[in-house]
């Protein structure tokens, strides 16, 4: 066995040979780099309602509990309360266009949770999120789900589930078996009332419904009661007064308590009215706003346990202050009395209710403290001051608590501990444990709609200094420079101090994130994300998507919706946001999130004025209503001169218009063949790809236009296309790609599945020939050569998953081979982000024969109709990312590497190197081995030197 | 009260067709229960696809399917599953479900074995293998190391350099004298043919040698 150094020496010699032999063709993730070169934010959205968020043990006998919630993104999630990570998630009815309600209740048995949404009632295993059972409501919408609370003989018996379903004019009450989900009984109500809520006491089931009266838009509330055993309707009564409120959502129905109540406040918020379900009487309480401020919101918090005390809390919120009143219900007499007030405090507060056995506790979260009181008396049981939130300098408005859910634990010695999950107005969902923030989930990002990579602001100080030195006279310049160097020297001791750490770190720090390490190579970009809620957030890409700032655009300009918006970055370090309605533009500093002041804007414009002569650009405009694409010129920026109009074939509808990205550099104008001849690429910066479909005939047409001359360069039509599925398309360099799903119910002869087509454009079909443009020095789209059509080669592949979005990786110079980035289409299971090598998709793969040696040298393999989306091409590797909708890429400072960011429900960011990291040492490079090799070679040279010297001296003496 | 119709506990449950796809324990997946809850089965014909999540019984359950011809595929992070063809035919409430093997990239009519048929079908689905996401680094292997022609060549030259003196020493005196005479003769030749091995190695034109050219040709 040779010594180790020798082996190492040999391997380092081998390295170039190995590199030449097998350059990584795909951009698969290395096992040791996975989770270090990417980040994933697993999001859920805003919890719907504090009542639908609860702590529950995932299985009987579990020590800890999980936090379950259903959000207005219709996601049910089990969150680990220790660190805020999601244990499991399921998406309910995500694809329905109409906003659906969704409900989540702790299950009848402890190890399940029950959800209702759209037309499904489902039970999920609480520990791992697998489905326990499902009941499909054939038609109609689930309006409420409850767990039936009746004492049926023996303890621990399986409890059943109640579901309230609305099907147009009919409302159906169902009792489902808690173990199997099968229907025990159904009860139909055909009166046409709109069912609204379900509530059960220990003996009766109540269904609250309403009808709109003709006068003044008031509603009449009806309460029907049912026998839990048989489903027989016992009684239906209409509350004596009409409720003069505009939105039935403002009626609160306390469910599953010993005495369920209906509580509402009249429109003027002057009186609070309470009805105990089952009784006819309505108690009225006057609401007196102490300072006469207008009450903005009235919300009710009541325990959700049938054995808990029948107490409830009413929370009043005005613009500046909030307070609460606690009411007690006498179950026997059906009488409601006010017990006590919780004092008025400034700011916004959130209340939550929790129970320990029969005792009810209210937790109050205000801007600066958390208080627990018992429902029985107003004495404060515990109080924790809250740590002040982040220095206010970065925030325009301090966030306040919007809703909270709490778990109160009684400790020995009559002390209490509380953990509350609080949703703040800036979209952060936080767990506050005894006044201290435990974790934060930035749920505002679940609503991400548009995103853009922003370069960090350039440091121009050196450039400015050099300019000064260049323009001053020699002596002045010299002193300026000497002063600058002296100033630079000040940082030398600090640098020297860091040096040993830097050197050692480069050898032993293996766990460092590749994103953090890449900060020096331009990975330190800022992600600006606009949400559907009108927020703008700044994320640090290299720091794993850490939120740097979060602002509400609506607060800056309430006249604009700010959703959707157009995001752009004109100058490094700034973000431009343009609203769609008013076309108003706001600009922000990307590092701080602060709006740019007018003088900053003026300075910037002065610096950035381009000195290039104004070129006459052709723009295009796509009008969905008129179903046309128009190309126009606008020399003065105001007036439009129409150049051309494109109309699809009759019966077809244009769905999307694509053109080449602004940053789409091409490093090589030709493709080198195996025999060193060149096939010249057809490179036209003005290509426009128009996708049009015909729903009736299941046809999709892809038309490639020259955007200046409007010549149609290429058209392809596909039949049997499922037009209801996404049809993504991308145009880059000299190729285009599009994908669609084949309709399995059309002709039986064709194959089914999804299809991906890759089309390449060349100047001529003959290598080393530049086609009709060959001899000309200048090329014009509108000149005499305007009819020169490109040579088009195209290949279609069947892919196993439909794709919903396509784009391409992007690098600085375009030397690196591009990869096609595609997101799989799915509305209820995790999506996958693929990075497909364009070489493998090449349209020039030989069909029906093996490649010739020359074609093999080019990297072409035999064409196969099925293109398997192989797992190594999934750049999200084992991370499960839900709901991805869009992906963008941006060049990094390294030519080999492209930054990729995808969003939808979750966020995912990664770096990918489609041709391998040829300009960066990979994780496989062993620096210690290299040092040993160098040392070994040096030792070898030293060891051999005496022999060589002796030989050289001896040789002349042996001449004799 | 005349509005209310009570449906007693026995409802004539006109159960429509039901399809269950089951994942049996196999060599690929010894414990199907360990699969993640994000595993889904997808039925696609046209329009939005139908999906069913993995149940705690390791099945995917579809209820009330519309007549049509569907492609069934499974999304699973850790394993790849075969695609199946599902045909639902017949009138409402009298549907028959047929499950066939199918082959991606072939004509739709080109179906394989019939996996199950009936009104209420449970079919086993086969796993094709596990999904390997990661690229492994080309580690160091002794065998591939010695397979390299460069290494073989250098080993040969090492043998020649080290072995020649040994052979010389073990030669019989007569041959040795002859050999030495030959060497002497060679040394007496003009200096243009360098005989010094050390300087020969130092002056070796590696690039030229790799490129396949020799001094004679250049000359």
Query: Residue A654: pLDDT above 90?
Result: yes
Each residue's pLDDT tens digit, A124-158: 999 999 999 998 887 788 888 888 876 555 455 56
pLDDT at position A156? 52
- State whether B120 and B22 are in the same domain: yes
A912 compared with A331, residue with greater pLDDT? A912
The strand ranges marked E within chain B are 4-7, 18-22, 40-44, 50-53, 59-63, 68-75, 79-81, 84-89, 96-102, 111-118, 120-124, 127-130, 134-135
Q: Is A955 exposed, middle or buried (0-12, 13-18, 19+ CB in 10 A)?
A: middle
- Closest Cβ–Cβ partner in B3, B105, B136 for A191: B3
Query: Residue A489: pLDDT above 80?
Result: yes
- State whether B152 and B53 are in the same domain: no
Domain end call among B130, B164, B183: B130
Asked if B37 has any chain A CB less than 8 Å from its own CB, the reply is yes
Cβ B4–A187 below 8 Å, yes or no? yes
* Chain B residues with beta carbon closer than 8 angstroms to that of A134: 61, 63
How many degrees, rounded to 5, is the angle at CA A915 between CA A910 and CA A917?
65
- State whether B123 and B159 are in the same domain: no
* Chain A residues with beta carbon closer than 8 angstroms to that of B134: 28-31, 34, 872, 877
Asked if B70 has any chain A CB less than 8 Å from its own CB, the reply is yes
pLDDT at position A9? 34
The answer to whether position B136 is within a domain reads no
Query: How far is residue A884 from each of residues A91, A547, A640, A827, A901, measured CA to CA in Å?
Result: 13, 19, 38, 9, 10
pLDDT at position B61? 92
- Closest Cβ–Cβ partner in A133, A745, A827 for B45: A745
CA distance linking residue A113 with residue A123, whole number of Å: 6
pLDDT-derived band of residue A614, with 50, 70 and 90 as boundaries?
very low
How many degrees, rounded to 5, is the angle at CA A789 between CA A783 and CA A793?
155
pLDDT-derived band of residue A348, with 50, 70 and 90 as boundaries?
confident
Q: Which of A1-5, A199-203, A354-358, A501-505 has the lowest mean pLDDT?
A: A1-5
- State whether B33 and B124 are in the same domain: yes
Cβ B40–A865 below 8 Å, yes or no? no
Domain end call among B130, B154, B174: B130
Decide if A46 contacts A443 (C-beta within 8 A).
yes
Query: Residue A116: pLDDT above 60?
Result: yes
In terms of Cα–Cα distance, which of A833, A804, A837 is closest to A916? Answer: A837
- Closest Cβ–Cβ partner in A133, A829, A872 for B132: A872
- State whether B39 and B118 are in the same domain: yes
The number of C-beta contacts closer than 8 angstroms across A and B is 200
Decide if A876 contacts A824 (C-beta within 8 A).
no
* Chain B residues with beta carbon closer than 8 angstroms to that of A746: 46
pLDDT at position A819? 93
- State whether B79 and B114 are in the same domain: yes
- State whether B34 and B120 are in the same domain: yes
- State whether B126 and B150 are in the same domain: no
Asked if A209 has any chain B CB less than 8 Å from its own CB, the reply is no
The distance of A186 to chain B (nearest Cα, Å) reads: 6
Cβ B135–A26 below 8 Å, yes or no? yes
pLDDT at position B3? 40
Query: Residue A608: pLDDT above 60?
Result: no
Each residue's pLDDT tens digit, A408-430: 988 888 888 999 999 998 899 99
Asked if B18 has any chain A CB less than 8 Å from its own CB, the reply is no
Each residue's pLDDT tens digit, A764-810: 889 888 877 666 676 666 665 556 788 999 999 999 889 999 999 99
Domain count, chain B: 2
Cβ B37–A7 below 8 Å, yes or no? no
Question: DSSP labels for A791-802?
Answer: EEEEEEEEESS-
Each residue's pLDDT tens digit, A877-929: 999 999 999 999 999 999 999 999 999 999 999 999 998 888 887 777 778 88
pLDDT at position A260? 83
How many degrees, rounded to 5, is the angle at CA B163 between CA B160 and CA B166?
145
pLDDT at position A526? 94
How much is the average pLDDT of A809-822?
Answer: 93
pLDDT at position A716? 94
Cβ A230–B42 below 8 Å, yes or no? no
CA distance linking residue A359 with residue A337, whole number of Å: 18
ipTM score assigned to the predicted complex: 0.83
Token output for A821:
């980035």
Cβ A131–B54 below 8 Å, yes or no? yes
User: Looking at the DSSP assignment, which residues form a beta bridge with residue A391?
Assistant: none
CA distance linking residue B219 with residue B215, whole number of Å: 6
How much is the average pLDDT of B23-43?
Answer: 91
* Chain A residues with beta carbon closer than 8 angstroms to that of B37: 88, 90, 124-125, 128-131
Cβ A22–B132 below 8 Å, yes or no? no
Decide if A742 contacts A720 (C-beta within 8 A).
yes
* Chain B residues with beta carbon closer than 8 angstroms to that of A7: 140, 145
pLDDT-derived band of residue A347, with 50, 70 and 90 as boundaries?
confident
B186: which DSSP letter? H
- Closest Cβ–Cβ partner in B5, B37, B135 for A128: B37
Asked if B22 has any chain A CB less than 8 Å from its own CB, the reply is no
- State whether B85 and B176 are in the same domain: no
Query: Residue A340: pLDDT above 80?
Result: yes
CA distance linking residue A437 with residue A419, whole number of Å: 10
Query: How far is residue A185 from each of residues A203, A222, B177, measured CA to CA in Å?
Result: 17, 22, 115
**Nearest chain B residue to A89, by CA:** B38
Query: Residue B14: pLDDT above 60?
Result: no
Q: Which residues span the domain enclosing B112?
A: 18-130
- Closest Cβ–Cβ partner in B64, B78, B104 for A138: B64
Each residue's pLDDT tens digit, B85-130: 999 888 766 788 999 998 887 788 888 899 999 888 999 999 999 9
Domain end call among B72, B106, B130: B130
The answer to whether position B172 is within a domain reads yes
Strand order across the beta sheet in which A687-694 lies: A653-659, A687-694, A699-706, A712-719
A942 compared with B46, residue with greater pLDDT? A942
Domains of chain A by residue range: 4-30+926-957, 201-208+216-426, 648-773+787-898
Each residue's pLDDT tens digit, A218-245: 778 888 889 888 888 888 888 766 666 6
Each residue's pLDDT tens digit, B154-213: 889 888 887 887 887 787 888 888 888 888 887 776 555 545 666 667 777 777 777 765
B 155-194 residues inside an 8 A Cβ radius of A: 187
pLDDT-derived band of residue B39, with 50, 70 and 90 as boundaries?
very high
User: What torsion do the CA atoms of A924, A927, A932, A936 make, to the nearest 10 degrees?
Assistant: 90
The distance of A545 to chain B (nearest Cα, Å) reads: 23
CA distance linking residue A757 with residue A739, whole number of Å: 6
Tell me the backbone φ, ψ of residue A820, rounded to 5 degrees.
-90, 120
The answer to whether position B4 is within a domain reads no
The distance of A872 to chain B (nearest Cα, Å) reads: 4
Question: ω before B152 within 30° of 0 (cis)?
Answer: no
User: Looking at the DSSP assignment, which residues form a beta bridge with residue A445?
Assistant: none
Cβ B37–A186 below 8 Å, yes or no? no
CA distance linking residue A552 with residue A427, whole number of Å: 10
Q: What average pLDDT does chain A have?
A: 83
SS (H, E, C) A426-480: CCEEEEEECCEEEEEEEHHHHHEEEEEEECCCCCCHHHHHHHHHHHCCHHHHHHH
CA distance linking residue A733 with residue A760, whole number of Å: 9
A673 compared with A607, residue with greater pLDDT? A673
- Closest Cβ–Cβ partner in A18, A231, A744 for B44: A744
pLDDT at position A4? 36
pLDDT at position B13? 44
How many degrees, rounded to 5, is the angle at CA A732 between CA A727 and CA A736?
45
Cβ A28–B133 below 8 Å, yes or no? yes
A 761-800 residues inside an 8 A Cβ radius of B: 798, 800
CA distance linking residue A566 with residue A449, whole number of Å: 10
* Chain A residues with beta carbon closer than 8 angstroms to that of B7: 185-188, 231
**Nearest chain B residue to A749, by CA:** B107
Decide if A906 contacts A882 (C-beta within 8 A).
yes
Q: Is A696 left (phi over 0), alpha (psi -120 to 50) or beta?
A: alpha
Residues whose CB is less than 8 angstroms from the CB of residue A212 and which lie 6 or more positions away in sequence, other chains included: A218, A219, A220
A609 compared with A498, residue with greater pLDDT? A498
CA distance linking residue B146 with residue B137, whole number of Å: 19
Asked if A960 has any chain B CB less than 8 Å from its own CB, the reply is no
The rounded percent of chain A whose pLDDT value lies above 90 is 32
Cβ A131–B56 below 8 Å, yes or no? yes
Query: Residue A271: pLDDT above 70?
Result: yes
- State whether B24 and B121 are in the same domain: yes
CA distance linking residue A585 with residue A609, whole number of Å: 19
- State whether B107 and B155 are in the same domain: no
**Nearest chain B residue to A188, by CA:** B5
How much is the average pLDDT of A101-118?
Answer: 83
**Nearest chain A residue to B5, by CA:** A188
């Amino acid at each position: 066995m040779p010594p180790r150094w020798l082996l190492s020496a040999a391997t380092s010699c081998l390295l170039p040979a190995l590199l030449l032999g097998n350059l990584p063709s795909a951009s698969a993730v290395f096992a040791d780099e996975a989770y270090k070169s990417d980040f994933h934010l697993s999001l859920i959205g805003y919890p719907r309602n504090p009542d639908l968020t609860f702590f529950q043990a995932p299985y009987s006998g579990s020590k800890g509990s999980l936090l379950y919630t259903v959000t207005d993104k219709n996601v049910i999630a089990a969150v680990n309360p220790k660190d805020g990570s999601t244990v499991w998630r399921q998406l309910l009815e995500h694809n329905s266009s109409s906003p659906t309600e969704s409900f989540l209740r702790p299950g009848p048995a402890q190890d399940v949770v029950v959800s209702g949404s759209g037309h499904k009632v489902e039970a999920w295993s609480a520990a791992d999120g697998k489905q326990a059972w499902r009941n499909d409501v054939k038609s109609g919408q689930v309006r409420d789900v409850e767990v039936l609370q009746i004492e049926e003989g023996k303890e621990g018996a399986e409890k059943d589930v109640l579901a309230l379903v609305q099907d147009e004019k009919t409302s159906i009450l169902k009792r489902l078996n808690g173990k199997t989900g099968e229907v025990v009984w159904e009860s139909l109500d055909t009166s046409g009332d709109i069912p609204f809520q379900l509530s059960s006491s220990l003996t009766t089931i109540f269904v609250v419904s309403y009808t709109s009266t003709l006068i003044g838009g008031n509603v009449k509330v009806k309460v029907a009661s049912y026998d839990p055993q048989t489903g027989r309707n016992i009684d239906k009564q209409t509350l004596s007064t009409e409720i003069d409120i505009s939105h039935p959502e403002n009626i609160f129905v306390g469910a599953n308590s010993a005495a369920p109540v209906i509580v509402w406040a009249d429109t003027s918020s002057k009186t609070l009215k309470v009805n105990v379900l089952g009784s006819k009487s309505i108690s009225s309480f006057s609401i007196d706003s102490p300072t006469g401020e207008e009450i903005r919101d009235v919300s009710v918090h009541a325990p959700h346990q049938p054995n808990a005390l029948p107490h409830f809390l009413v929370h009043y919120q005005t613009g500046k202050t909030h307070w609460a009143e606690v009411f007690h219900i006498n179950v026997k007499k059906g009488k409601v009395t006010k017990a006590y007030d919780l004092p008025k405090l400034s700011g916004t507060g959130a209340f939550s209710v929790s129970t320990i056995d029969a005792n009810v506790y209210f937790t109050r979260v205000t801007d600066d403290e958390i208080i627990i009181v018992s429902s029985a008396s107003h004495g404060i049981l515990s109080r924790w001051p809250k740590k002040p939130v982040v220095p206010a300098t970065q925030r325009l408005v301090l966030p306040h608590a919007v809703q909270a859910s709490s778990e109160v634990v009684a400790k020995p010695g009559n002390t209490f501990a509380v953990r509350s999950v609080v949703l703040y107005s800036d979209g952060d969902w936080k767990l506050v444990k005894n006044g201290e923030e435990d974790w934060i989930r930035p749920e505002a990002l679940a609503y991400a709609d548009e995103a853009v990579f922003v370069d960090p602001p350039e440091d121009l100080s050196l450039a400015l200094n050099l300019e000064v030195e260049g323009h001053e006279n020699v002596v002045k310049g010299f002193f300026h420079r000497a002063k600058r160097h002296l100033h630079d020297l000040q940082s030398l001791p600090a640098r020297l101090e860091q040096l040993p750490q830097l050197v050692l770190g480069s050898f032993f720090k293996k766990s460092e994130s590749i994103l953090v390490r890449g900060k020096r190579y331009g990975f330190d970009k800022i992600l600006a994300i606009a949400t559907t809620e009108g927020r703008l957030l700044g994320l640090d890409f290299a720091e794993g998507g850490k939120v740097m700032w979060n602002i509400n655009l609506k607060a800056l300009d309430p006249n604009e919706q700010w959703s959707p918006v157009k995001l752009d970055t004109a100058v490094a370090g700034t973000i431009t946001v343009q609203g769609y309605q008013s076309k108003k533009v706001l600009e922000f500093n990307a590092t701080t999130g602060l709006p740019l002041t007018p003088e900053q804007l003026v300075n910037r414009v002065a610096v950035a004025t381009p000195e290039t002569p104004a070129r006459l650009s052709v723009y295009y405009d796509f009008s969905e209503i008129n179903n046309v694409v128009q190309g126009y010129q606008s020399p003065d920026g105001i007036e439009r001169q129409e150049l051309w109009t494109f109309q699809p074939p009759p019966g077809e509808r244009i769905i999307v218009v694509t053109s080449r990205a602004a940053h789409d550099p091409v490093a090589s104008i030709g493709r080198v063949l195996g025999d060193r001849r060149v096939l010249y690429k057809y490179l036209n910066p003005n290509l426009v790809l128009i996708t049009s479909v015909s729903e009736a005939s299941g046809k999709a047409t892809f038309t490639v236009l020259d955007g200046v001359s409007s010549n149609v360069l290429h058209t392809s039509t596909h039949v049997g296309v499922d037009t209801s599925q996404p049809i993504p398309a991308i145009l880059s360099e000299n190729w285009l790609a599009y994908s669609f799903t084949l309709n399995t119910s059309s002709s039986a002869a064709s194959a089914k599945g999804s299809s991906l087509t890759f089309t390449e454009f060349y100047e001529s079909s003959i290598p080393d020939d530049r086609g009709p443009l060959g001899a000309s020095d200048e090329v014009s789209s509108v000149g005499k050569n305007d009819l020169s059509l490109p040579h088009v080669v195209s290949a279609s592949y069947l892919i196993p998953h439909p794709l919903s979005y396509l784009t391409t990786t992007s690098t600085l110079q375009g030397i690196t081979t591009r990869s096609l980035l595609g997101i799989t289409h799915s509305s209820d299971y995790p999506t996958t982000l693929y990075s497909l090598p364009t070489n493998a998709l090449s349209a020039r793969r030989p069909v029906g024969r093996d490649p010739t040696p020359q074609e093999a040298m080019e990297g072409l393999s035999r064409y196969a109709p099925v293109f398997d989306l192989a797992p190594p091409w999934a750049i999200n590797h084992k991370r499960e990312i839900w709901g991805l909708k869009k992906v963008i890429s941006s060049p990094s400072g390294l030519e080999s590497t492209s930054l990729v960011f995808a969003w939808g429900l979750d966020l995912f960011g990664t770096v990918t190197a489609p041709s391998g990291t040829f300009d960066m040492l990979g994780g496989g490079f062993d620096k210690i081995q290299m040092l040993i090799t160098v040392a070994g070679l040096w030792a070898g040279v030293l060891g051999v030197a005496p022999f060589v010297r002796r030989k050289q001296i001896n040789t002349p003496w042996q001449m004799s | 009260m005349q509005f209310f119709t009570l449906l007693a506990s026995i409802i004539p449950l006109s159960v429509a067709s039901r399809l269950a796809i089951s994942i049996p324990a196999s060599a690929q997946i010894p414990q199907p229960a360990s699969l993640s809850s994000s595993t889904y089965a997808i039925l696609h014909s046209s329009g939005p696809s139908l999906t069913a999540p993995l149940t705690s019984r390791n099945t995917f359950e579809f209820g009330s399917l519309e007549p049509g011809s569907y492609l069934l595929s499974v999304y699973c992070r850790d394993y790849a599953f075969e695609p199946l063809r599902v045909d639902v035919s017949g009138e409402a409430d009298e549907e028959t479900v047929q499950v066939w093997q199918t082959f991606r990239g072939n004509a739709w009519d080109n179906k394989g074995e019939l996996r199950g048929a009936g009104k209420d079908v449970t079919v086993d689905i086969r796993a094709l293998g596990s999904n390997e996401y990661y690229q492994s680094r080309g580690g160091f292997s002794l065998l591939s190391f010695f397979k390299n022609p460069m290494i073989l060549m250098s080993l040969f030259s090492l043998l020649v350099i080290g072995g020649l003196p040994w052979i010389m020493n073990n030669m019989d005196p007569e041959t040795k004298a002859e050999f030495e005479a030959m060497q002497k003769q060679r040394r007496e030749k003009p200096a243009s043919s360098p005989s010094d091995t050390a300087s020969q190695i130092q002056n070796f034109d590696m690039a030229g040698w790799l490129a396949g050219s020799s001094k004679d040709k250049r000359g």
